[in-house]
Chain A
Amino acid sequence: MAADGGEGVTGEVAVLGAGMHPWGKWGRNFVEYGVAAARAALTDARLDWRDIGSIIGADTVRGGYPGYVAGATFAKALGWQGARVASVYAACASGAQAVDAARAQILSGLADVVLVVGADAAPKGFFRPAGGDRPDDPDWLRFRVLGATNPVYFGLYARRRMAIHGDTPEDFAQVKVKNAAMGALNPNARYRKRVTAEEVAASAVVADPLRLLDICATSDGGAAVVLSSLEFARRHGHADPVRIRAVSTVTPRYPNTVLDLPDIATDSAVAVDPPAATFRMSIARAAYEEAGIGPEDLSLAEVYDLSTALELQWYEDLGLCGEGEGVKLLRDGETALGGRIPVNASGGLASFGEAVPAQAIAQVCELAWQLRGDAGDRQVAGARVGISANQGLFGHGSAVIAVR
């Protein structure tokens, strides 16, 4: 794909609008959150819902009606107007895959302007698999056979970093301190209070060595973006829009040798040596390659901080620093506001919590606002290039590179 960044590059699409429903535990239906986010994105884009040629939803489970729904549910709530519709499921990467599907429709000429929506009302407590006896489902098996919740995996990664790189729980706490400070500046964040290292250390251990404040919460929330062709953007008075230059949706490569959710074991490397790049590294590399940029070109990054320790891993996987140097980057203040490469200026999942189908779209919203200079008190000065990185259960890569 062409990626020279010049006028008329066929590989780029415009982000005309971004919108969210504030995240929290509101106790309402996911449709409300999605529609509120969609309307906000449409207003931001200065478009009417009836101008939209296609709607793509990131899937959630509709209670009382078994199955995953999204696109048509939001379309009905906004008012049937005959738009093309699709829904995508890719666990936590659903939002990025919805963006990718929208982009494909725009670049192929199937649609000029597409609304992408994701929303959810998360259950309280640990995520758990759907009911029934389902031993053919690895997600069901890890709970049934091992009681291995998501924080168990986060704890394994954290302990491994401590053993290999010498990270400490105090280092992990500083990620929370940083993200909470930025989340306090974000009106859409669920948690808008600064947190101290002492507060992290005083919170209960959930999965050794991680404590409650090291681990992201579950949340309700919604996010939406309006994407279009560059030609459509120009015609509608968006002379210099934020543009999406790359969307990475890669799967892992065999053998995947880093133990990961929801698996009980890794692939064996006995017959084939592991690939040079781990899965998370390959997600970023695919995005860089498609965009024709490298980590040195980034102004900011929104990464998937399911836990504080995992954010440090992403620094290395994105190439923001060398292997094992994540803590140094953090300690030097490079990933805080005002640093060389602010990470999770939105406040991240630490401040938002997980609303699975919405979170990868929410990352793109933050990139759009930052690149437009509309991020208020959490603005990254002079932001020109941003990356989002995320990972969906069962092998769904997810990264988006946006430029201005």
Chain B
Amino acid sequence: MVAGWFAGEGDGFRLLGTCCAACASVFFPREDHHCRNPACAGGELAEVPLSRRGRVWSYTDSRYRPPSPYVSDPELSWEPCALIAVELEAERIVVLGQAAPGVTVEDLTVGMEVEVVPGVLHEDAETTWTTWHWRPTGVRA
């Protein structure tokens, strides 16, 4: 679905972006065709892993089931899902993601440190769709 957006396992798990060889601009989700910096003549876009840890820029949650194409089991009651926008210092970028299971808005504050961890978006009998989650550092699943 979103091939090449993340890779690795455990502590090696990282979001993957791309970096312009000419101007060093970083892109996530990955930009594989043209550097979007208007002042850049354009260079090769090489894959780069993003920082593992960042700080919470803001957060919220979905108290109601999101519509399709989000996939959730209509048989199960909807569990509010927290979303966290995270500022990565080295890349100077903010990346939105779901919070790790069990993390609620009560657990979060703006500015706190979080780290990226592998997660499951949805699974059925045939397929498991993986994703990234943000989790406060020092918390173990």
The interface of chain A, by Cβ under 8 A from chain B, is: 125-126, 128-129, 131, 133, 135, 140-149, 151-152, 155-160, 163-164, 204-210, 254-255, 257, 259, 263-272
Q: Are B37 and A254 in contact (CB under 8 A)?
A: yes
Give min CB distance, B57 to chain A, whole Å: 7
Q: How far is the CA of A308 from the CA of B60 in the complex (A)?
A: 15
Q: Are B70 and A144 in contact (CB under 8 A)?
A: yes
- The one of A155, A204, A210, A268 in contact with B27, judged by C-beta atoms closer than 8 angstroms, is A268
Report the interface size class on chain B: 35 or more
Q: Is B1 an interface residue (CB 8 A)?
A: yes
Q: Are A126 and B110 in contact (CB under 8 A)?
A: no
Give min CB distance, B76 to chain A, whole Å: 14
Q: Is B103 an interface residue (CB 8 A)?
A: no
The 3 closest A-B pairs by CB, nearest first: A155-B60, A163-B110, A147-B66
Listed by A's residue number, 24 A-B pairs whose Cβ atoms lie within 8 Å are A140-B69, A143-B66, A145-B131, A147-B83, A149-B64, A149-B66, A149-B67, A152-B60, A152-B62, A155-B60, A156-B96, A159-B58, A159-B60, A206-B64, A208-B60, A210-B60, A263-B96, A264-B97, A267-B25, A268-B28, A270-B26, A270-B90, A271-B40, A272-B37
Q: How far is the CA of A3 from the CA of B138 in the complex (A)?
A: 59
Contacts of A207 in B (CB 8 A): 60-63
Q: How far is the CA of A158 from the CA of B64 in the complex (A)?
A: 18
Contacts of B57 in A (CB 8 A): 156, 160, 259
Contacts of B110 in A (CB 8 A): 159-160, 163-164
Q: Is B111 an interface residue (CB 8 A)?
A: yes
A interface footprint on B44-85 (CB within 8 Å = 1, 0 otherwise): 000000000000011111111011111110000000010101
Q: Are A145 and B1 in contact (CB under 8 A)?
A: yes
Give min CB distance, A220 to chain B, whole Å: 19
Q: A149-B67, A160-B57, A163-B111 are in contact. List 5 more A-B contacts (CB 8 A).
A: A143-B68, A156-B59, A160-B58, A263-B96, A272-B25
A interface footprint on B107-140 (CB within 8 Å = 1, 0 otherwise): 0011100000000010000000001000000000
Contacts of B40 in A (CB 8 A): 271
Q: Are A266 and B93 in contact (CB under 8 A)?
A: yes
Q: Are A204 and B63 in contact (CB under 8 A)?
A: yes
Most A Cβ at <10 Å: residue of B38, B67, B98: B67
Q: Is B23 an interface residue (CB 8 A)?
A: yes
Give min CB distance, B49 to chain A, whole Å: 14
Q: How far is the CA of A257 from the CA of B92 in the complex (A)?
A: 9
Q: Are A157 and B58 in contact (CB under 8 A)?
A: yes
- The one of B38, B62, B93 in contact with A147, judged by C-beta atoms closer than 8 angstroms, is B62
Q: Are B69 and A143 in contact (CB under 8 A)?
A: yes
Q: Is B36 an interface residue (CB 8 A)?
A: yes
Q: Are B69 and A144 in contact (CB under 8 A)?
A: yes
Interface of B is mostly: loop
Contacts of B72 in A (CB 8 A): 147
Interface of A is mostly: loop
- The one of A147, A263, A271 in contact with B70, judged by C-beta atoms closer than 8 angstroms, is A147
Give min CB distance, B120 to chain A, whole Å: 13
Contacts of B121 in A (CB 8 A): 145
Q: How far is the CA of A148 from the CA of B64 in the complex (A)?
A: 11
Q: How far is the CA of A156 from the CA of B110 in the complex (A)?
A: 10
State whether A141 and B60 are in contact (beta carbons under 8 Å apart), knowing that A159-B110, A160-B110, A270-B93 are contacts in the complex.
Answer: no
Contacts of A143 in B (CB 8 A): 66-70
Most B Cβ at <10 Å: residue of A142, A255, A271: A271
Q: How far is the CA of A254 from the CA of B71 in the complex (A)?
A: 33
Contacts of B96 in A (CB 8 A): 142, 146, 148, 156, 259, 263-265
Residue in chain B with minimal CB distance to A206: B63
Q: Is B141 an interface residue (CB 8 A)?
A: no
Residue in chain A with minimal CB distance to B88: A268
Q: Is B105 an interface residue (CB 8 A)?
A: yes
Contacts of A209 in B (CB 8 A): 60
- The one of B24, B61, B94 in contact with A155, judged by C-beta atoms closer than 8 angstroms, is B61
Q: Are A126 and B2 in contact (CB under 8 A)?
A: no
State whether A156 and B83 are in contact (beta carbons under 8 Å apart), knowing that A129-B69, A145-B131, A163-B111 are contacts in the complex.
Answer: yes
State whether A259 and B91 are in contact (beta carbons under 8 Å apart), knowing that A156-B83, A205-B63 are contacts in the complex.
Answer: no
Q: Is B20 an interface residue (CB 8 A)?
A: yes
Residue in chain A with minimal CB distance to B29: A264
State whether A270 and B85 are in contact (beta carbons under 8 Å apart), knowing that A128-B68, A204-B63 are contacts in the complex.
Answer: no
Q: Are B2 and A208 in contact (CB under 8 A)?
A: no
Q: Is B39 an interface residue (CB 8 A)?
A: yes
Q: Are A271 and B20 in contact (CB under 8 A)?
A: yes
Q: Are B2 and A141 in contact (CB under 8 A)?
A: yes
Q: Are A126 and B66 in contact (CB under 8 A)?
A: yes
